Structure 1
Amino acid sequence: MSPAMILNIQLGLGYVPWLLCFAAYIWPRVRSMEPVDAQRAIATLHSFRFFGLVFLVPGVVGPDLAPGFASFAAYGDFATGLLAMLALLAVKRPAIFWPLVVAFNVVGVVDLAGDYYHGVVLDLPGHAGQLGATYAIPVIYVPLLMITHVAAFYLLARSRRHQPAAA
């Protein structure tokens, strides 16, 4: 089996265990939380996305990792992580917290969707070895990030539906 095929299989299958784990253990708990607490939990996970800057570190990734992929992935993760941290710092100020929750989720989804797009356009699977030590990020970490972004948007929509109409 080629390295490209292995990466593609792993990218797809990375969602399966996370969806099973999320459905069985995480979603029931998050769904039952107060909206602020649920979004804080999701923001806490995403606050670690500063780690994505590792895509720019020579020696961690191969010298031939496509710069278009590495830069977009690194800075998109970094921006998402900073916005998530700001949301956590602003939790006591709802007028700031909620826009930051929306912002880190929008930026995060755009980042991940852009990473998938760049991965296809730049043939990332054909150069999977260039991911070096970061290989586990798209296979193991990204599926959980995308799942939690979807959950965050669902929770945002649900909490809006349940808010009483202004008099």
Structure 2
Amino acid sequence: MSPAIIFQLHLVLGYVPWLLCFGAYIWPRLKSMDPVEAQRAIATLHSFRFFGLVFIVPGVVGPNLPAGFATPAAYGDFATGLLAILALLSVRTRPLFWLLTIGFNVAGAVDLIVDYYHGVQLDLPGSAGQLGATYAIPIIYVPILMITHVAAFYLLLRPQPEATRSLAGDAAAS
């Protein structure tokens, strides 16, 4: 098998164990949590996305990694990570927390979609070896990031039970 086919297989199969784990262990817990706590858990995972800057560190990635992929991926991850950290820091100011939560999820999902697009356009599978030490990021880390963005959007958009809205209102009033 060619390295490009192996990389493509890795990309697709990276979602399988995460979807199984997410469906069995993470999703049931997130759905049952208070909405703020569920979003905080997701933000905590995404707060580590500052690590994406590694895509532009010489010696960690190969010199022929397409800059059209590496630079947007690095800065998109960095921006998403900073927004997630700010969301976590602002949890006591609920309107700001919700704004930053929406912000990091929109920025992060768009970043991943754009990264996939650039990867296809620039034939990233053909130069997957240039990912060097970062090879595991799109294979192991990106699938759970995308899955949790989808989950976060679902949780943001689902109607809240009346009891939850009442408790949130009571907490804001005190």
In structure 2, the residue matched to 1:2 is 2
In terms of Rg, which structure is larger? Answer: 2
Partner of 1:66: 66
Conservation of the 8 A alpha-carbon contact between 1:5 and 1:125: yes
Corresponding residue for 2:133? 133
Q: Which residue of 1 aligns with 2:80?
A: 80
Show CA shifts across 1:78-97 (max 9, x none).
00000000000000001100
Report the TM-score when normalising by structure 2: 0.92
Q: How does 1:10-159 map to 2 (within 5 A)?
A: 10-159=10-159
Deviations 1:121-151 (A, max 9, x none): 0000000100000000000000000000000
Aligned residues with identical type, % of pairs: 74
Question: 2:169 is matched with which residue?
Answer: none
Q: Which residue type is aligned with residue 27 of structure 2?
A: W
Letter in 2 for 1:131: L
Query: Shift of residue 102 of structure 1?
Result: 0.3
- 1:130 and 1:47 mapped to 2: Cα distance? 26
Structure 2 alignment gaps of length 5 or more: 167-174
CA RMSD of aligned residues (A): 1.2
Residues 110-131 of structure 1, C-alpha deviations (whole Å, 9 max, x = no match): 1000000000000000001000
What amino acid is the match of 1:137?
A: I
- Provide the secondary structure at the position in 2 that maps to 1:97: helix
SS in 2 for 1:104: helix
* Alpha-carbon offset, residue 159 of structure 1: 4.3
Provide the C-alpha distance between the structure 2 equivalents of 1:55 and 1:139, rounded to a whole number of angstroms.
14
8 A contact 1:31–1:38 mirrored in 2: yes
Unaligned runs of 5+ in 1: none
Q: Which residue of structure 1 lines up, in the alignment, with residue 170 of structure 2?
A: none
Cα distance between partner residues in 2 of 1:45 and 1:74 = 17
Q: Cα offset for 1:160?
A: 5.7
Matched residue count: 164
* CA contact 1:83–1:100 (8 Å) conserved in 2: yes
